[in-house]
Each structure stands twice: as C-alpha cells, then as structure tokens.
C-alpha cells in the first residue's frame, strides 16, 4: 500500500502531538546548564525529602536520594514518552507499514531509544552536562515499561468490550 500525505487522518496527527510535547520538554530540560538542572532536581528532592522525613524513624542520605530522584525522572519521562509513542504508532501504522504488533512495538521502542541517545549527545554540548550511557539504558527501560503499560491497558479495554 502506498502511503502518502492524502492518507493521513486528523487522529494520526493528534496522536503525535503529545509525543512532540514530551520530546520538547525533555529537550528543554536537557538544554539547561548543569547548575540550573541541579537546582531544579535539588528543589524536587528537598520537597520529597521533607515529606518523607516527617516520619521520624526515616533517615535519608540526601546525596543518594538526589541521585535516585534524578534517575527516576529519566525513567518516568521515557515511560511517558514510550506510552505516547506506542499510542501514536498504533493509530498511525495499524493498517499500513507495520501490520504485526511486534513491528509496531519494535518501532516505538526504537524511536524512544534513538531519542534517548540523541538527548545524551545533546547534553555533551551543554555547559557542565555530560552524556551518559547509563541514562540511555534507564531511558530505554522506562520506554519499554511505558510501551508495555500501553499494550496492557489496550488489552484490558478490548477485553471489556
């Protein structure tokens, strides 16, 4: 089947808007110099730590907790990206290029992994930032989980009908 601009529906376009917004947010946050990025994640860490330390028996190593919060942010951002990329791929390519679900899942994961790699390369050019292979792995794991959640939710919805 030939795929042309004439065959693109409004639903297909709308499905990609959240993907672009998430990618734009990731790009914006990655474009911040290290000092700004650290202030933002430090504020989030401090807020969460205050809630946790309200329970007197809990003690927190702030350096380790800050590291955990930063890596969790990577995972959750890409979990969200994976979910919405999978949605967009499902809507856009269901009847055309990728007829089998495993191809759509693979394509969605590939989009997320390539974006994670490009994000880490982008950070090499930002003052005080670095590109980390470990972050690409965390991002990829998050995307994989997001794609899995999407697939699980869609199956549950189909089973209820």
Split at pLDDT 50, 70, 90, the class of 1 is: very low
DSSP state of 32: S
The whole-number average pLDDT for the span 36-59 is: 66
Split at pLDDT 50, 70, 90, the class of 42 is: low
Mean model confidence pLDDT for the chain: 85
Q: What percent of the chain has pLDDT over 70?
A: 78
pLDDT (0 to 100) of residue 7: 72
For 59-84, write each residue's pLDDT tens digit.
Answer: 777 778 778 888 888 999 999 999 99
pLDDT (0 to 100) of residue 56: 65
Kindly tell me the sign of the dihedral angle through the C-alpha atoms of 121, 82, 9, 27.
negative
DSSP state of 80: H
3-state secondary structure of 94: coil
Split at pLDDT 50, 70, 90, the class of 94 is: confident
Q: Which two tokens stand for residue 44?
A: 């989030």
Is residue 45 within 8 Å of residue 64, measured between CB atoms? no
C-alpha–C-alpha distance, residues 133 and 86, integer Å = 23
Query: What pTM was computed for the model?
Result: 0.83
pLDDT (0 to 100) of residue 44: 67
Is residue 49 within 8 Å of residue 69, measured between CB atoms? no
């Amino acid at each position: 089947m030939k795929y042309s601009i004439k065959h693109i529906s409004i639903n297909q376009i709308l499905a990609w808007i959240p993907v672009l917004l998430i990618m734009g947010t990731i790009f914006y946050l990655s474009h911040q110099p290290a000092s700004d990025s650290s202030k933002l994640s430090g504020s989030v860490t401090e807020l969460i730590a205050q809630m946790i330390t309200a329970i007197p028996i809990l003690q927190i190593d702030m350096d380790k907790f800050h590291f955990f919060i930063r890596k969790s942010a990577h995972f959750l951002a890409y979990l969200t990206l994976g979910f919405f990329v999978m949605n967009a791929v499902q809507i856009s390519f269901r009847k055309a290029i990728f007829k089998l679900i495993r191809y759509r899942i693979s394509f969605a994961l590939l989009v997320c992994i390539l974006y994670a790699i490009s994000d880490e390369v982008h950070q090499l050019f930002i003052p005080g930032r670095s590109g980390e292979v470990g972050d690409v792995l965390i991002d990829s794991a998050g995307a994989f989980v997001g794609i899995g959640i999407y697939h699980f939710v869609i199956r549950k919805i189909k089973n209820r009908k």
